[in-house]
Structure 1
Amino acid sequence: MTGGVLGEAYERFSRTGPEWGEDQLTNHGPMAVEVLVRRGRSDRVDGWVQQYLERLDELPRSTGEITVGDWNAAIGDGQRVADWVVYFTHELQERPWREVLAIWWERLLPGIVAGTTHGVIRVGHVVRALLAGAENPAILGELAHGLAFWAARSRPVPDPGPPAGLLFPRAALQALPRVPMQRGRVADRFDQLPHLPQWASAVVGLAPAATPDQVPARLSELVDAATLGYLSYGHGQPVILIHTATAPNAVLHSLPALPRDLWAPSLAAIWTTTAAIFSAYAPPDAAPRSILPAAPEGPDALAEVLDRAIAHTDEHVIKFTDTAAEVYTRTGDPDALTAALRATQLIS
């Protein structure tokens, strides 16, 4: 990992807010540049960052101090994101980053859907960089920003309970019902979930990980299933459904930095969140295979798909293609590459 290039990019993004525009769209810049650097495209970072910065808003001003005695009152308060940045910056100066991450991962886990999962995704990307050895003040600063966004936008998901069934992730996703009104904001859709027949039993139906050692495999299976599922259902909401794969992948990459007793709760939380997004946005009808793109073949297929994503320049496409590339490397399934191309096709 080229810490210099990544650190410089993070420094440029540190003056921007986690959201931008009237619609409060998420700032994906720090996540996408981590992919560019890790995938050996450091030469593309400067130009990509310069173009992306033009759309962003400045980091809001601080409104007050968050302390160890009153932090709980600031959880989920989107107006206090700058206060959270100050808080986490101080914490990361005083303690090792793994210690801060472990403490706050547990506290923030109930609100993992924060920013439609962008909070945990942003944290996952910078943790991946830290685990690769790219530790400097700018990298730690990005961790502060990621945790701050997660804390400020923290919100719960209807939770029927931890996995206790027999279904593996691919079958568990297929078993999920859909909300009757697939329109409106995330909150409007999620509010329908507790009243949806079979919602609770379908979520609980995932096979649990019997031991912490089984959690990485179960998360990998969930990432694989969601990536391949995008082929069939991504047309329902091409951007948001990407997060059914990238969010659990962020948790998967964060596990090595977390205490093992947090692994199973992390699996349960991200599965429930993934299921909620899928039920709220995935259409009931799958796309016919005949309209799907054809994946390239041969030894250069993966590199070609990555090149197409970077040429596309969209931040969602870049992040999803990174996840799809990992699925392809892990499974050898060419449909993972097809899913990445489907994203480039669906997202303008």
Structure 2
Amino acid sequence: MDLTAATAPDTSGTLDEALERLHAFGPERGGWLSNHAPMAVEALVRHGQAPGVHRWLDHYRAKLEDMPDRVAEVTPSSWPEALGDPRRMADWTAYFVRETAGRPWREVLAEWWPRLLPGIAAGATHPVIRVGHSVRTLLDAEENAPRVTELAHALGYWAARHQPLPSLSALAPAADAAAALDAVVPVPEQSGGIRDRLGQLTAFPAWPEQPVAGPEAARARLTELVRAATHRYATYGYGEPIMLVHAATAPNAVLRTLPALPRELWAPSLDAAWAASAAVTAAYSPARPADPAPVPAGLSPEEVFARAAAHGDDHTIKFTDTALDIGDATALAAALRSVELNPPAL
């Protein structure tokens, strides 16, 4: 990826302050809507918007709910029965807080990543996205308590909402990621929420055409997928502007996590990321593309992100963060399309 927009580790302390504020709250609101604040503030700080983070959080505060009550302790022997039980949200969070306090966070992540990966569609892919933002901070900067605790909250959310996709058959193979996304068949009934839509999935195009030859090939194909999904938003995002950002941000979260994982987990991570991106595409993509989004003339990546930050919508901020990872003109055009399509929050 180009990583055109220069970023630097946060030295202001703003991100850690924001995370400490947020860890008093639960990962959801209204029964199933995700708390996007930890992900959005990480992106804002990373792209030079730290001075406005607490103002953004003050505005977002009305959407936050307290952590739900605990039910029973999750233990090394009882976790299978608690996996995928959203009533155990606080139990899972407490479990991972204990685990990351007692062991290196990389060790905990490596143990749980293959257990959680089959449920990558959990919470409309928000848990894995939150893990990706968290791991990025831990890889880029000092491993301090707020950032390790954030990983614990993200993993706890994923475990509580763990949701495997239905058993799927393979359609004809696709030559590249863009062609594979184009060949995804929309679910027949698109009037319900994402859980209803994911339950209708039956088959995905086979991609990559051949098994990847090793970890580096898996990372290259995953990078290709993130680029293709980001570019696709520029013409298909209008179908469901909020939900379709996850076709790009979910696989990018996996890509961001790879450096923290044992290399033998990279190929299965690619498979899960493709399943997540294809699932969101099948659930929400319209049948026909819109006219291509105009390529921004003379706008730097930093200026594009500043527009997303001023817009204030959490999904727009996170998608633009992913678009800046790609860094090319089509990705920036897709980011601007998300600013245009999603309702502003500030």
1:156 aligned residue: 164
Is the contact between residue 176 and residue 203 of structure 1 (CA under 8 Å) also seen in structure 2?
no
- 1:50 equivalent in alignment to 2:53: no
Is the contact between residue 215 and residue 264 of structure 1 (CA under 8 Å) also seen in structure 2?
yes
Residues 120-129 or 335-344, more deviating: 335-344
Within 1, Cα distance between the matches of 2:140 and 2:262? 18
Is the contact between residue 177 and residue 207 of structure 2 (CA under 8 Å) also seen in structure 1?
no
Q: Relative contact order: is structure 1 or structure 2 higher (C-alpha 8 Å, sep ≥ 6)?
A: 2
The alpha carbon displacement at 1:296 in A equals: 2.8
- Aligned counterparts, 1:140-155, within 5 A: 140-155=148-163
Q: Determine which of 152, 168, 189 is the counterpart of 1:181.
A: 189
1:193 aligned residue: 201
- 1:81 equivalent in alignment to 2:84: no
Within 2, Cα distance between the matches of 1:253 and 1:191? 28
2:342 aligned residue: 347
Question: Where does structure 1 lack aligned partners over 5 or more consecutive residues?
Answer: none
Instruction: Label 1:16 to 1:163 Cα distance change in 2 as closer, same or farther (>3 A).
Output: farther
1:115 aligned residue: 123
Spell out, residue by residue over 1:91-128, the C-alpha distance to the aligned partner (whole angstroms, 9 max, x if none): 00110000000001111011011111101000000100
Spell out, residue by residue over 1:245-298, the C-alpha distance to the aligned partner (whole angstroms, 9 max, x if none): 000000001000000111000100110121111111101111123xx4x34323
Instruction: Label 1:107 to 1:137 Cα distance change in 2 as closer, same or farther (>3 A).
Output: same
- Number of corresponding residues: 334
Q: Determine which of 151, 169, 174 is the counterpart of 2:177.
A: 169
Within 1, Cα distance between the matches of 2:171 and 2:297? 38
Within 1, Cα distance between the matches of 2:188 and 2:261? 38
Is the contact between residue 92 and residue 144 of structure 1 (CA under 8 Å) also seen in structure 2?
yes
Q: Determine which of 262, 265, 271 is the counterpart of 2:265.
A: 262
Amino acid at match of 2:330: D
- 1:125 equivalent in alignment to 2:124: no
Amino acid at match of 1:120: V
Question: Where does structure 2 lack aligned partners over 5 or more consecutive residues?
Answer: 1-8
1:296 aligned residue: 296
- 1:7 equivalent in alignment to 2:16: yes
Amino acid at match of 1:320: F
Is the contact between residue 126 and residue 143 of structure 1 (CA under 8 Å) also seen in structure 2?
yes
1:28 aligned residue: 36
Within 2, Cα distance between the matches of 1:165 and 1:211? 20
Is the contact between residue 160 and residue 203 of structure 1 (CA under 8 Å) also seen in structure 2?
no
Is the contact between residue 203 and residue 275 of structure 1 (CA under 8 Å) also seen in structure 2?
no
1:320 aligned residue: 319
Percentage of identical aligned residues: 50
Within 1, Cα distance between the matches of 2:210 and 2:172? 6
Within 2, Cα distance between the matches of 1:11 and 1:62? 20
Root-mean-square deviation over aligned CA pairs: 1.7
2:3 aligned residue: none
Spell out, residue by residue over 1:28-70, the C-alpha distance to the aligned partner (whole angstroms, 9 max, x if none): 0000111111112211111111211222111111111111011
Instruction: Label 1:163 to 1:102 Cα distance change in 2 as closer, same or farther (>3 A).
Output: farther
Residues 82-91 or 54-63, more deviating: 54-63
- 1:70 equivalent in alignment to 2:78: yes
Q: Determine which of 287, 290, 295 is the counterpart of 2:290.
A: 287
Amino acid at match of 2:199: D
Q: Determine which of 25, 38, 53 is the counterpart of 1:16.
A: 25
Amino acid at match of 1:187: R
Residues 125-134 or 204-213, more deviating: 204-213
1:221 aligned residue: 224
Within 2, Cα distance between the matches of 1:143 and 1:163? 36
Residues 25-34 or 50-59, more deviating: 50-59
1:308 aligned residue: 307
